[in-house]
Chain A
């Protein structure tokens, strides 16, 4: 007995056998959607290594579709959301739907990225870019469905590190390099603040599990740590507001969106924002004592400032990518107003995000189709383009009207739900100011259309390529059609969201 290995003794003391028995094969099944994305990421990487670059885009689309299908059973038969993998993450029900929504932004941008790379003779990057998109989608999934704040941080970092690389993927292009470095330095700086906030929450509660923190009752924590409580959560909020590019933390957005390869911006702007909104709303509502708390009031004010700032500055932009970047700051404002507005608003924010995904990916794809040199991005040079190329003009009109929030397009429905929930949540003044800012927003979206349709064409400065390339025309048209359809009949999607939302037990506290 005396010669026995001391490590073995202590291991037996800890009853390792029992813990191993607890590992359930159900865990693997529950996390299969995320794991399959990971697997396909590896496959794409290997295909690239063996010089099968052409099929990587097909395999990526296939992989994302399979991963979405794996999440479907839990969504179609609306089931309760539940914890899995030693309570690390949520699965089933709403979590499945969130996974599907997050995968959408990757799925939709793949055809446009393929086309853009072909146009710029960068097809050798296909393998890397598509595997990074898949890995980044895994990160988004972890971020949005995490229960452990540790998991949130890891998911956030997987997502962001992939995005830093994607922003700088055109390494010969100085704009791409600078965008990447700027995104990286500021992103790492912001995640340090997020980490400090998380560690303070750990210090206060002794755990990083959100479900356990909720059972401790945030009110108790607040009473015990009167000075520290709000700064700690505010630090977490800073990290997320940065990723969402909300008003005081927006400095990186215009430059990164302008510098990064155009269709990749569509992916960066939608998926990462959706994941951050979902995680932020969930964490905020788990940590705050009640909805309508002091901190959610502050967030509602930041939302307002984002709307005002984004819309006013966007109106002065000439470069269409920069214009869309500032407009994305204002769209962040609308989503944040939802997050601040309690459970109803959180649901509205998810719905808004879904619509925003369709609009933004389509808009950046459309821009990339006529982009050959930097001057092509200045929309003043687009005079008469709408008449010359009817398809381009028509789709651009749908997107601009939808982004501006005109009925009967999807953007209107999204804004309607957000403002409705804000009014219900007691943010009446905020909702009124928000509606006013969206009128300002309509001005610059319409200015683009006026230039395109009603100004005389100036041949010498017009973009050379006027035709939308065939392989992306159909995907863009499908996106435009979806925007119109959601705008006309939103009821099925929103009522379905209601059902799943009702089944989401973890939101009952809100």
Chain B
């Protein structure tokens, strides 16, 4: 069974993806890319959950992934709407150029 042999492998991949997303959020300046990195982090967690769902043969983990995907879709819609509203007023979505408040 793959999951038995590679449990650590699956977990390491998802943690690595999570950390890559985290570094992206901390270093990138474009609001859309920052948000994409957050989506990457959510995906990493999903992989983590599915691995354990398979491991325990327990549908609860898959259910959680299903809900996380719904939440991610909702967040994507709201986040992009906010970005568009900001762009209309400012013509710029570089998070370092938020002059009204310091980042």
On A, residues with C-beta under 8 Å from B are 150, 153-154, 157, 161, 164-165, 168, 171-172, 174-175, 177-182, 184-185, 188-189, 192, 195-196, 198-200, 202-203, 206-208, 254-255, 258-259
Residue of A nearest to B39 (CB): A188
* Contact present for A177 and B48 (CB under 8 Å): no
* Contact present for B82 and A172 (CB under 8 Å): no
Chain B positions 60-76 with a Cβ under 8 Å from a chain A Cβ:
60-61, 63-64, 67-68, 71, 74-75
Residue among A154, A177, A182, A255 with the most chain B CB within 10 A? A177
* Contact present for B71 and A184 (CB under 8 Å): no
Q: What would 26 A/B residue contacts be, using CB atoms closer than 8 Å?
A: A150-B63, A154-B67, A161-B75, A161-B78, A171-B88, A174-B86, A174-B89, A175-B100, A177-B82, A178-B101, A180-B82, A182-B98, A184-B75, A184-B78, A185-B31, A185-B95, A189-B25, A192-B21, A196-B18, A196-B45, A199-B48, A199-B49, A202-B49, A203-B52, A206-B56, A207-B60
Residue of B nearest to A186 (CB): B25
Pairs A-B, 3 closest by C-beta atoms: A255-B101, A192-B41, A177-B86
Interface residues of B, count at CB 8 A: 41
Give the CA-CA distance A181 to B85 in the complex, in Å: 10
Give the CA-CA distance A243 to B89 in the complex, in Å: 28
Residue of A nearest to B86 (CB): A177
Q: Tell me the minimal C-beta distance from A329 to chain B in angstroms.
A: 16
Give the CA-CA distance A378 to B23 in the complex, in Å: 38
* Contact present for A195 and B42 (CB under 8 Å): yes
Give the CA-CA distance A164 to B77 in the complex, in Å: 12
Say whether, besides A192-B38, A199-B45, A181 and B60 are in contact (CB < 8 Å).
Answer: no
Say whether, besides A161-B74, A192-B45, A196-B45, A171 and B85 are in contact (CB < 8 Å).
Answer: yes
* Contact present for A184 and B82 (CB under 8 Å): yes
CB < 8 Å neighbour of A258 from B45, B75, B101, B103: B101
What chain B residues lie within 8 Å of A259 (beta carbons)? 100-101
| Chain B 77-103: CB-based contact to A (< 8 A → 1; otherwise 0) | 011001101101110000100101111
| Chain B 22-43: CB-based contact to A (< 8 A → 1; otherwise 0) | 0001000001001100100110
* Contact present for B48 and A203 (CB under 8 Å): yes
What chain B residues lie within 8 Å of A189 (beta carbons)? 25, 38, 41
Give the CA-CA distance A141 to B60 in the complex, in Å: 22
What chain A residues lie within 8 Å of B79 (beta carbons)? 164, 184-185, 188
* Contact present for B71 and A153 (CB under 8 Å): yes
* Contact present for B38 and A208 (CB under 8 Å): no
What chain A residues lie within 8 Å of B21 (beta carbons)? 192
Residue of B nearest to A194 (CB): B45
* Contact present for A185 and B71 (CB under 8 Å): no
What chain A residues lie within 8 Å of B71 (beta carbons)? 153-154, 157
What chain A residues lie within 8 Å of B88 (beta carbons)? 171
Q: Tell me the minimal C-beta distance from B83 to chain A in angstroms.
A: 7
